[in-house]
Amino acid sequence: MDAKEYLSQAYSLDRLAYMTLMKAEEMRRSLYGRNSIQNFGAAEKVIDYEKKADETINRLIDTRIKIEKAISAVPDGVQREILERRYLMYQPFEGGYDKKSGEYIRGIAEDMNYSERQIYRLHLTALKYIDID
């Protein structure tokens, strides 16, 4: 696992937790209007999904703490900020329109007043300081 993969773990866990919670919510909605005897077994399954989500969220928190610690070892403040924005705030390098909402999402380069090329260069340099346990 390289530094980029290591730092990307939080995003993957975040998406997994979100999807598990959405599935549990959808299942819970589908229970309404059905026989309460049948709902008991189904409700237990929904609770199991919610427990899975809780476990994933706990893993996410632990992972984020490890990632924050790894990022804090980067000596340059600008490079640290780039890594935090990218891997903890899930901000894209470049701005663009969100396909779902149609809203414009500002990129790291815009927010930090750097060119995209500089952001990529600083990001690459910062990754060299990430120590993977």
State the number of CA atoms in the 13 A half-sphere of 106 facing the CB.
9
The residue assigned the tokens 């049948």 is 38
pTM value? 0.83
**pLDDT tens digits for the chain (133 residues)?**
899 999 999 999 999 989 988 888 887 777 765 555 455 677 787 788 788 889 999 999 999 999 999 999 999 999 999 999 999 999 999 999 988 899 999 999 999 999 999 999 999 999 999 988 7
Is 51 found in the same domain as 4?
Answer: yes
Domain that holds residue 98: 76-133
> Exposed, middle or buried, 116 (CB in 10 Å: 0-12/13-18/19+)?
middle
Asked if residues 20 and 56 have their Cβ atoms less than 8 Å apart, the reply is yes
Distance CA 52, CA 60 (A): 12
How far apart CA 50 and CA 18 sit, in angstroms, is: 11
Q: Looking at the structure, tell me whether residues 34 and 84 fall in a common domain.
A: no
